[in-house]
Structure 1
Amino acid sequence: MINDDRIWAIQAILSDYVKSPSLRHLRDPHSLMKVAKDIVKRLDHHAGVWQKWEGEREALLKSAVGCWIPIETLRDYLNRLPGPSLTLTDVAQRLRAFQEEPYAYSPNDDLKNGCLALFAKEKAEGTELPAIIGLLSEHVECEEERLRVEREEKYKRMRQLEREAAEQRLMSGADCKWTQLGRAPQWYCRTNGRTYRLTPTSDKRWDLHRVNAPSAEENGHHIGRYRGRGDATKIVAQIAYQAEPRF
């Protein structure tokens, strides 16, 4: 019962009311009537269009979001709680409404089979539904974290492979976009068989050089200083196909 949102709503109203330093104000009939109206208004607002969801029903169903509890099981359990009889559609659509709320948790299809298996095991052992929901919530949280870590590791491996492939392309002499060699601050690109190097400066700009090969040691031919790689890319696109002096 303590998880019923209506309790917290009423408590907030009463808490504000009893903050009054005047005992006479607290006992005033008009003040009491205003508090009563505020409570009724808050409860009516809380109920909204979902008229069958009384007491602990809503809190229990909301806790089951993302746990893949079979709708039939939820309906049967909720119908044992006080309130009008619920149909499968009542439960399914209320659950969907919870899932569509801002910042709500959406069920993860990758976790469905694991949740259903854990649910069947606990049900067979006689565990009551609220405890199963709690266990599945913990399971989902742990699995989501595991999947998040796996996705991050997969992304890192993919990025590393992409960096290695870009470096190999640069060193092979093929045309390529701006590429770093390891953790060096310089960036290189090759257009029309010509190699260009960008070097960051102390004033947060970039020096563009035409070089013979990817090397920080070669001075090369200085082309200009630019605010960003985008500006340098535009210049490279213009000069890469123009005649140039030997250097």
Structure 2
Amino acid sequence: MTPGTADRPQMSIEDFEELNRKAPETLRNKLEFLNGRLLVKHGPIDVEDFEELARVAPETVTLELLNGKPAVKPMSDGDHGSIIMWLIRQCMMQRPELALHPEQGLRIDTYRKGCIKPDGTLTAIDYFAGQDEWASPDGVLMAVEVTSKDRDADRRDRQEKPRAYAYADIPVYLLVDRDNDTVVVHSSPENGVYQNRRPYHYGATVRLPAPVTITLETERLKDYA
């Protein structure tokens, strides 16, 4: 990990001030900014308030709603983006009838009214056509997250998002864990828990189960370690 990246603020004070100024009236006295994090006083917020907050966020800020709490999605670095592009190419070559959509919003009502933007969402090519910014997860075959170099990666990508995706019955959750140089395949969701979780070290052959049915030769990921 690059020195200092784990302590990088999620957003700037200037972005927070703009967000707070434009926030819906119901949230204006609830938002706080502490140690670079966006916080909400007095408990969780509802989806409608969050969607309005996300609409007025500065261009440099991408918001998600996890467990009823708004969170700032970390900005991608070059390696993060390269991994997503590598995955997009693998999906296109092996399953041309599918598409891996970067950062398509999903509204996951089954997990405490969550609104999440996975790093990648695998669906039939036209599944999201005609849907809103926060789409239904019903047709999603796989959600993908690539860990960012920030202090909240463990809570966000290894704990909260697997629960949300499992509650939404997304068949496969693929986590590229850059802190541990591993690819972790979660499958068989049941009652908010993936029953199967299998980690692979970079360089291994990773066979993603049905309905994804894609094989990843992960030697290339060593270039991004």
TM-score (normalised: structure 2): 0.24
Greater length-normalized contact order (CA 8 Å, ≥ 6 residues apart)? 2
Compare CA radii of gyration and give the structure with the larger one.
Answer: 1
User: How high is the TM-score relative to the length of structure 1?
Assistant: 0.22
- Of Structure 1 and Structure 2, the greater helix share is in 1
